[in-house]
């Protein structure tokens, strides 16, 4: 902490509460009468978010084009397609309504609205964008925190690359967190996205860039998710548990946007792009192994989380994973041992890995992946 200068920022407006999706028109009408809503192919309708947003906007006389083709983690082609709709409809704002995938696709389309180059150019050249359209975020899962971060994670399947496009222009103008929208989220998505949020809380808390401000957010996020995620998983319509997870996910997102993450997220992208597994699931299985590796340098901070959890950390995280059927879900993926060196190589350049409290060399990444593969194989034999 010492003499380092600390910075903190977040989105200018956050509205939280059951039914608050209806307020979208109040924010959208500040920017103009036409907008684009980006949502997931299934989640947009299942969560009711699309209907609620369209109703609110149309009642105020605003018109919207809907892009509801996002399924899975967004690709450069998805973002280009939304950008085309934004251009053709001369939209004044973009709404991202969904989980992390729809949110990141919407954010990138809004953030690149004034640009002419294709999305892949920004991804590969790591070029930041300016001149964005206002972006409004309505999350339908409690997980990624994408509604409060200034980056969009986009995949280029041809190049087998999954990276962030960044820029201050990507930060939402307003975020509406309506826990009612998460009530229909299926159990496995609740578990995977909730674990993403929990891991983000842990990683932000022990990050090299953590400050007392991010610690306060990350430790409370950890508490809320630790105490409520299993309930939200097993009793999806419990709105109290859903609200607690929505708060936890929001706080973890604000913490990570400022403190950054750690080794789990440093490895998760390149592993995820090979396995095709949900991001949160990968984070969940990696976390306990990374905690073991970090223990020597981060034990003081982990002790604070253990006091909240009432359990020792690597074992407690694994016990929670079992309650959420994480290992069962992960058993359908085979870890590519022959790719571990390449995954490690790619992970070393990630900014998340650089924020990890313990320095990770290539062999450390490989060792964590080996332990994960050993565990997966031993579980298969049971
Ligand atoms: Fe994450």
Question: What is the CA(269)–ligand 1 centre distance, in A?
Answer: 9
Question: What is the CA(253)–ligand 1 centre distance, in A?
Answer: 9
According to the model, what pLDDT value does residue 382 have? 54
When pLDDT is cut at 50, 70 and 90, the band that residue 273 belongs to is confident
According to the model, what pLDDT value does residue 280 have? 96
Instruction: Tell me the sheet residues that pair with 137.
Output: 96, 175
Q: Where does a domain end: 181, 201, 235?
A: 181
Question: What is the CA(191)–ligand 1 centre distance, in A?
Answer: 13
Question: What is the CA(143)–ligand 1 centre distance, in A?
Answer: 8
According to the model, what pLDDT value does residue 313 have? 95
Residues 173 and 222 in one domain: no
Query: Residue 326's Cα: distance from chain center in Å?
Result: 17
Q: Where does a domain end: 181, 208, 231?
A: 181
Tens digit of each residue's pLDDT (9 = 90 or more) over 160-172: 888 889 877 789 9
According to the model, what pLDDT value does residue 381 have? 59
Question: Is there a domain that residue 368 lies in?
Answer: yes
Q: 371: domain CATH number?
A: 1.20.1090.10
According to the model, what pLDDT value does residue 159 have? 85
According to the model, what pLDDT value does residue 169 have? 79
Question: What is the CA(215)–ligand 1 centre distance, in A?
Answer: 17
pLDDT tops 60 at residue 256: yes
Q: 82: domain CATH number?
A: 3.40.50.1970
Which residues form the domain of 249? Answer: 186-380
Question: Is there a domain that residue 2 lies in?
Answer: no
- Given a contact cutoff of 8 angstroms between Cβ atoms, the answer to whether 270 and 283 are in contact is no
Question: What is the CA(251)–ligand 1 centre distance, in A?
Answer: 13
Residues 129 and 224 in one domain: no
Task: Please list the helix, strand and coil fractions of the chain in percent, rounded to the nearest 5, in that order.
Answer: 60, 10, 30
Q: Where does a domain end: 122, 155, 181?
A: 181
According to the model, what pLDDT value does residue 264 have? 98
| CA–CA dist 352, 299 (Å, integer) | 19
According to the model, what pLDDT value does residue 128 have? 76
Residues 330 and 240 in one domain: yes
Question: Is there a domain that residue 271 lies in?
Answer: yes
Question: What is the CA(55)–ligand 1 centre distance, in A?
Answer: 31
Average pLDDT over residues 4-26: 96
According to the model, what pLDDT value does residue 349 have? 87
| CA–CA dist 35, 31 (Å, integer) | 9
- Does the reported pTM lie above 0.75? yes
pLDDT tops 70 at residue 2: no
Helix (H) or strand (E) holding 133: none
* Pairing mode of beta strands 174-177, 135-139: parallel
Question: What is the CA(61)–ligand 1 centre distance, in A?
Answer: 37
According to the model, what pLDDT value does residue 73 have? 85
Count of domains observed in the chain: 2
Residues 255 and 376 in one domain: yes
Question: What is the CA(33)–ligand 1 centre distance, in A?
Answer: 34
Residues 175 and 196 in one domain: no
Question: What is the CA(373)–ligand 1 centre distance, in A?
Answer: 21
Kindly report the average pLDDT of the chain as a whole number. Answer: 94
Question: What is the CA(265)–ligand 1 centre distance, in A?
Answer: 6
Question: Is there a domain that residue 104 lies in?
Answer: yes
Residues 119 and 195 in one domain: no
């Amino acid at each position: 902490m010492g003499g380092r200068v600390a910075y903190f920022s977040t989105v200018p407006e956050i509205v939280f509460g059951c039914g608050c999706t209806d307020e979208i028109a109040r924010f959208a009408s500040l920017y103009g009468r036409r907008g684009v809503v980006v949502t997931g192919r299934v989640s947009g309708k299942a969560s009711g978010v699309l209907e609620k947003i369209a109703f609110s906007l149309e009642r105020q006389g605003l018109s919207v084009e809907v892009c509801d083709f996002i399924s899975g983690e967004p690709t450069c082609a998805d973002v280009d397609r939304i950008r085309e709709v934004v251009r053709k409809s001369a939209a004044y704002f973009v709404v991202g309504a969904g989980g992390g995938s729809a949110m990141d696709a919407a954010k990138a389309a809004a953030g690149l609205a004034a640009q002419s180059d294709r999305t892949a150019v920004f991804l590969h050249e790591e070029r930041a964008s300016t001149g964005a359209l206002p972006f409004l975020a309505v999350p339908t899962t409690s997980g990624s925190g994408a509604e409060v971060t200034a980056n969009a994670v986009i995949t280029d399947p041809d190049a087998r690359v999954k990276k962030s496009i960044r820029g201050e222009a990507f930060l939402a103008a307003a975020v509406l967190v309506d826990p009612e929208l998460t009530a229909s989220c299926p159990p496995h998505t609740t578990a995977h996205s909730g674990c993403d949020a929990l891991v983000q809380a842990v990683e932000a808390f022990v990050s090299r860039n953590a400050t007392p401000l991010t610690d306060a957010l990350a430790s409370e996020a950890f508490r809320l998710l630790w105490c409520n995620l299993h309930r939200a998983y097993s009793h999806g319509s419990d709105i109290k548990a859903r609200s607690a997870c929505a708060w936890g996910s929001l706080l973890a997102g604000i913490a990570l946007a400022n403190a950054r993450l750690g080794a789990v997220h440093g490895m998760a992208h390149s592993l995820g792009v090979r396995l095709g597994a949900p991001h949160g699931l990968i984070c969940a299985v990696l976390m306990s192994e990374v905690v073991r590796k970090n223990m020597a340098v981060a034990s003081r901070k982990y002790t604070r989380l253990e006091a909240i959890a009432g359990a020792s950390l690597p074992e407690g995280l694994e016990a929670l994973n079992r309650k959420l059927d994480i290992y069962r879900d992960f058993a359908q993926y085979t870890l590519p041992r022959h790719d571990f060196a390449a995954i490690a190589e790619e992970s070393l350049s990630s900014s998340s890995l650089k924020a990890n409290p313990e320095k990770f060399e290539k062999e450390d990444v490989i060792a964590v992946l080996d332990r994960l593969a050993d565990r997966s194989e031993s579980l298969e034999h049971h």
